[in-house]
Amino acid sequence: MNLILSVLSIDVNYTRLSIHPTFVTLEPFCGHSANDPQTLNFLNIKLESPAMNPKSEISKTILSGATIHLPAKTLKTGSVVITNGCIAEIHEGALPNPKNGAIFIDLTGKILSAGFIDLHIHGMMGIDVMNIGPEGYGRLSAEAAKRGVTALAPTTVACPAEQLRKIMESIHAAREAGVPGAKLLGLHLESNFINVDFKGAQPGDQVFSWEDPRAAAIRKLLEQYARDTCIVTLAPEMPGGIELIRWLVKHGIAASMGHSGAKYDQAMAGIEAGATRATHLFNAMPPLHHRNPGLPGAVLSSPKVFAEMVCDGIHVHPAVIATTIAAKGCDRFMPISDGLEAAGMTSGDFLLGGQHVTVVNNVAKLDNGTIAGSITTMDRIVRLLVNQTGCDIHDALRMASATPAKGIGRQDIGRIVPGAAADLVVLTPDLEVETTLVDGKVVFSVE
Ligand SMILES: [Zn+2]
């Protein structure tokens, strides 16, 4: 305990501590991903974070004069000062250019929001998470940043363990090396452990239960790459489903219920076991019925559970999006793209986990007619929420940033508050992305 107190006194930016016999691992509050811990060796204490090293050069950026969406209110005109990649100060009104070496960006007439966070994205712009190496994750990160995304969870479909191993090795390598745009939060596995009757566009021959002998190899990979895995989608009613939820919670991975035919009691048992979220609510599950509420009823009536929803205007009617926001509130509703490699494009032939997908008139379908993921992107989603569901801009931006961060336990991203990472998006009044910053650095800007 003494040690914890002394470490905390070094830098209050660090909020989470875990003790290992040899290491104290600090989960930084700012400027680094949760999987990029600063490590203090007991025998040879080394402090590498610039925020913790007074000799390191301080970089300062001033974003002045924007309409700023803070977590609880909007500043009509405000400014943000970024120091070493973190939000250091928030001011009401515009700030003058200090002409002292700080980078000064005049944002008069623009909107400044926390960057978007997409926790369910299979790919975009010709990139398919199932078929890329570390370099492909770099491209995905850069493409996502063009859409205002500052953090994402690349999403897989059910696949053999050998393929999953390559995917996990690749994302691990990409995260170690660093990426040029949006942060890689870790994988979202739309896993093998779903209900084949509600597989949607998932390959059915790779669907099996947590108790199936084939699950052992997947479990080993999840153990090995737990830090590179953010979310696992599963069906709680399948054999071993509840045990799997407990196992995921123990390994620090969010358990998400989806691709499931769970009855209300089965879904409630999943929530009781530790499931905290639902995967694309209403899609790939039986509909809400007033005498048979099922998984949707369990999710809608459980205040703590987060709900993902594909907000492309095709998977779910805008009126149902609005109804769900009303039921869950902005703090529990997470718009996702569920984007395919075709996302960001309007038509053509593409792949989803090796299956052929055709995009016609902005709708992606498998050859059997099943709707397969979407081709939307987070910037379009924010515009849809505002233009088609009656949601105000502040709430739409919050649901696209703060809520998904909260849903995976990240306090350091998704909000414009002092101490948080300066992961930001600058938008025009029409909500078109103009500039994206990650850790205070401009990673995308329209010409
Ligand atoms: Zn998906």
Task: Decide if pLDDT at 100 tops 70.
Answer: yes
More confident residue, 89 or 363: 89
C-alpha span between 262 and 265 (Å, rounded): 8
* CATH code of the domain occupying 60-109: 2.30.40.10
Distances (CA, A) of 135 to 173, 174, 203, 297, 357: 9, 7, 26, 41, 24
pLDDT at 360: 83
Of the listed ranges 39-43, 273-277, 315-319, 432-436, the one predicted with least confidence: 39-43
pLDDT at 353: 67
Instruction: Give 341 Cα–ligand 1 centroid separation in angstroms.
Output: 11
> Do 190 and 156 meet the contact criterion of CB atoms below 8 Å apart?
yes
Task: Decide if pLDDT at 130 tops 90.
Answer: yes
Task: Please compute the mean of the pLDDT values over residues 334-353 and round it to a whole number.
Answer: 85
Catalytic residue annotation: 338
Domain locations in the chain?
2-52, 60-109, 116-414
Task: Decide if pLDDT at 112 tops 90.
Answer: yes
pLDDT at 440: 97
> Do 385 and 391 meet the contact criterion of CB atoms below 8 Å apart?
yes
Residue-wise DSSP of 251-289: TT-EEEE-S----HHHHHHHHHHT--EESSTTTTSPPPB
C-alpha span between 285 and 235 (Å, rounded): 10
pLDDT at 234: 98
pLDDT at 268: 98
Strand 306-310 with 277-278, pairing: parallel
At 224-241, the pLDDT tens digits run 999 999 999 999 999 999
Instruction: Give 58 Cα–ligand 1 centroid separation in angstroms.
Output: 41
Instruction: Give 120 Cα–ligand 1 centroid separation in angstroms.
Output: 6
Instruction: Give 233 Cα–ligand 1 centroid separation in angstroms.
Output: 9
Nearest in space to 294 (alpha carbons), one of 307, 277, 282, 306 = 282
C-alpha span between 411 and 29 (Å, rounded): 7
Instruction: Give 119 Cα–ligand 1 centroid separation in angstroms.
Output: 10
pLDDT at 21: 32
Rounded to the nearest integer, the mean pLDDT of the chain is 88
C-alpha span between 438 and 363 (Å, rounded): 31
Instruction: Give 29 Cα–ligand 1 centroid separation in angstroms.
Output: 29
Instruction: Give 447 Cα–ligand 1 centroid separation in angstroms.
Output: 32
Task: Please compute the mean of the pLDDT values over residues 198-207 and round it to a whole number.
Answer: 91
Instruction: Give 371 Cα–ligand 1 centroid separation in angstroms.
Output: 11
Strand partners, 418: none
Task: Decide if pLDDT at 171 tops 90.
Answer: yes
> Do 350 and 364 meet the contact criterion of CB atoms below 8 Å apart?
yes
Instruction: Give 179 Cα–ligand 1 centroid separation in angstroms.
Output: 23
Same fold, 60-109 and 116-414: no
At 382-440, the pLDDT tens digits run 999 999 999 999 999 999 999 999 999 999 999 999 999 999 999 999 999 999 999 99
At 173-191, the pLDDT tens digits run 999 999 999 999 999 999 9
Which residues have a beta carbon within 5 Å of ligand 1, which is an ion?
190, 338
Alpha-helical runs (H) found in 110-160: 134-146
pLDDT at 325: 98
* CATH code of the domain occupying 116-414: 3.20.20.140
Instruction: Give 190 Cα–ligand 1 centroid separation in angstroms.
Output: 6
What pLDDT band is residue 56 in, cutting at 50, 70 and 90? low
C-alpha span between 411 and 406 (Å, rounded): 6
Instruction: Give 123 Cα–ligand 1 centroid separation in angstroms.
Output: 10
Task: Name the phi and psi angles at 363, rounded to 5.
Answer: -115, 130
